Structure 1
Amino acid sequence: MDLVEQTGRRRAASAAVVTVALWASAFVFIRLAGQDFSPGALALGRLASGSVVLVVLLLIVGDGFPPRPAWRGIGISGLLWFGVYMVALNWGERYLDAGTAALVINLGPVLIAVLGGLVLREGFPARLMVGIAVSFTGAVVVGLADSEGSATLLGVVLCVIAAASWAIAVVVQKPALVHASALQVTTGGCVVGTLACLPFAGQLFDELGSAPLTATLSLIYLGVFPTAIAFTTWAYALARMTAGQVGATTYAVPALVIVMAWFVLGELPRPVALLGGVLCLAGVALTRSGRKPSAPAK
């Protein structure tokens, strides 16, 4: 492995770490904002805030408008991931307890690995598959520890839709990153998602008028950090890793959520949840071990 490959691998791994940390924090702030904003309004407010930040960054960096070959991937991923995923997940969590929702949504990385192997021809490396199995087991343990046994068919269906939308969007997004930068792809996708969520504008304006400052600030945080920044670092990592590998890193999120909820919300984790978190991290570590790095993106 030469110096360029080592540097590229470290940068991709660092980008994935930033993504995971910020996405984990999103669960805490969604909990805070979700008490005062309905699912569609929360999604629109988050995406609109993120779009403003991303467009400004795009202008500062000077990347310009994404090339035409990337439009299809940007449009589909923006509609599915930034639009359908966020609304479906916010909505589904209204009908499921947090543990059950986490169980269902964590099908996403499994679907990403499967679709990546079939559609993107990434194959099914043994370490990746075993690591995903270990991490998914950990996610199940965490979910069961936090589950209150309250689940409805509608909630499960909505979270399955969210997981499937996420997986399909990633597989469509990766080819777009061959033609456009991570910032271009993320900005385009966020703007598309914002436009798709405009039907919720009335709800958002009404709820902004009555929401406390903490909820509004939480919504803005979600737009700036877990959306604008984290989705850009995700795209950067995705351009330099396989879809299955970068998807598997998200299994570190449940472990981080446990720690953040402990410190920020004062929610003391159960011992079995801690065990599940350790399994999640062990599985992610396994997916990153003993493999040849993929070629750096051009």
Structure 2
Amino acid sequence: MELLLVGCHVEGVRKRSAPEFFALAGTVVLWACAFPAIRVGVAGLGLAALSFLRLAVAAVALLAMSPFAAVRLPRRRDLPLIALCGLTGMTAYQVLLNWGEVHVAAGTASLLIAIAPVFSVLLASAFLSEPLTRNVVFGSLIAIAGTAVVTLARGYAGFSAASLVVLAAAVVQGVYHFASKPLLRYYSGLEVATYAMVAGTVFALPLAPEAAKATAGAPPDALWSAVFLGLLPSALGFVIWGYAVARLPLAASTAALYLVPPVALVVSFVWLGERPLPLELAGGAVTVAGVVLINRRRTRRRGPAAYATARPPAASAHAGPDPRTTPQRH
């Protein structure tokens, strides 16, 4: 009888977990598809237009959703930090990544962006008194070494400033994760994403005239890419990512996002016909291994017993994802 009850309980957990795992799978696919979509959008719209249109579409979508998701108005004292998140994680990230992908292949860009968590963890250690453990140090060194391999995979002749621009996008994304940590103590992940996206769109307003000009004569595939990037990887991606993180152990959610670079490579091959070099794949694997090592410090702190006794994240109306464990957002 006890075995029967245990079996029913496990089966119930599996059924309840199915939507969360589907949400994680959707996040991986959406964020992986963002890299080739950027290549298509930049080619038809240009850097400035694509950057503004993606932010604007995502901001409008999130604002339209906010009344139904109980998104609160931010406190006045949090506005400077929200502005920093919007400037770095939205405006600067979009401009730098789009600029880099003018010359860097979509799959290669996804491998370079994978280093972003290293910067967020190092910033948290420097400014938020987060412990700088041995795993953090060695994981950071491994990830940086892997990134160097990806950057120089085509030799010094193939190295370009565009690779550094993509790395700069990873840096500002790391700053976003670091800066959003204090906000996530009071706001939900969806609220922080909405505030940052709106702030990022405001900072990108100087690009609006160029976007209006480019939109008038842009090819349909570029326009659809901009709409796709705004609605799906940016807006929907944030929503389903927050849904999954609020209901699953954070370690499981983080581990799933390590699949973004390999899925991006497959999508880029199918969509754009890009073929990464074996050395680039090896460097990307090393980078991901370094990020995994960094995140092991959190999974060791909380064993299976902790998850059995802890209150589920979903019980809090304003629980949000830990920015240090979010490898990348696109």
> Fold match, TM over 0.5?
yes
Deviations, residues 22-75 of structure 1 (Å, cap 9, x unaligned): 332211100111101121211100001101111122122122323445433222
Deviations, residues 97-154 of structure 1 (Å, cap 9, x unaligned): 668866765553322121111222221233344444444444444444467834555x
Which range is displaced more, 130-139 or 230-239? 230-239
Counterpart in the other structure of 1:91: 99
Among 224, 229, 233, the alignment partner of 2:236 is: 229
Among 258, 261, 271, the alignment partner of 1:264 is: 271
Structure 1 residue 253: Cα displacement: 3.6
* Structure 2 residue matching 1:83: 3-state secondary structure: helix
Structure 1 residue 281: Cα displacement: 4.4
Which AA in structure 1 matches 2:177?
Answer: V
On the 8 A contact 2:107/2:261 being kept in 1, the answer is no
Q: How does 1:136-147 map to 2 (within 5 A)?
A: 136-145=144-153
The answer to whether 1:52 aligns with 2:56 is: no
On the 8 A contact 1:43/1:86 being kept in 2, the answer is yes
Which AA in structure 1 matches 2:80?
Answer: R
On the 8 A contact 1:252/1:280 being kept in 2, the answer is no
Task: Name the Cα RMSD after superposition.
Answer: 4.0
Which AA in structure 2 matches 1:267?
Answer: E
On the 8 A contact 1:112/1:168 being kept in 2, the answer is yes
On the 8 A contact 1:23/1:230 being kept in 2, the answer is yes
Q: How does 1:77-116 map to 2 (within 5 A)?
A: 77-94=85-102, 105=113, 108-116=116-124
On the 8 A contact 2:143/2:288 being kept in 1, the answer is yes
Change (3 A) 1:278 1:84: closer
Which of these two proteins has the greater Rg computed from alpha carbons? 2
Measure the CA separation in 1 of the matches of 2:164 and 2:275: 30
Deviations, residues 219-261 of structure 1 (Å, cap 9, x unaligned): 11111122113345667789999xxx99998665433322221
Measure the CA separation in 2 of the matches of 1:99 and 1:274: 9
On the 8 A contact 1:139/1:276 being kept in 2, the answer is yes
Measure the CA separation in 1 of the matches of 2:188 and 2:194: 10
On the 8 A contact 2:55/2:200 being kept in 1, the answer is yes
Counterpart in the other structure of 2:216: 209
On the 8 A contact 2:112/2:147 being kept in 1, the answer is no
- Which consecutive residues of structure 1, in runs of 5 or more, have no partner in the other structure? 1-5
On the 8 A contact 1:255/1:280 being kept in 2, the answer is no
Deviations, residues 165-220 of structure 1 (Å, cap 9, x unaligned): 22222211110111111111111111111111111111111111111111111111
Q: How does 1:1-298 map to 2 (within 5 A)?
A: 19-94=27-102, 105=113, 108-145=116-153, 149-152=157-160, 155=162, 158-159=165-166, 161-232=168-239, 252-289=259-296, 291-293=300-302, 296=313, 298=319
Per the normalisation by structure 1, the TM-score is: 0.77
Structure 1 residue 162: Cα displacement: 2.9
Change (3 A) 1:16 1:169: farther
* Structure 2 residue matching 1:61: 3-state secondary structure: coil
Measure the CA separation in 2 of the matches of 1:98 and 1:232: 24
On the 8 A contact 1:77/1:173 being kept in 2, the answer is yes
Deviations, residues 275-298 of structure 1 (Å, cap 9, x unaligned): 334434444444454512398575
* Structure 1 residue matching 2:132: 3-state secondary structure: coil
Per the normalisation by structure 2, the TM-score is: 0.71
Measure the CA separation in 2 of the matches of 1:170 and 1:271: 31
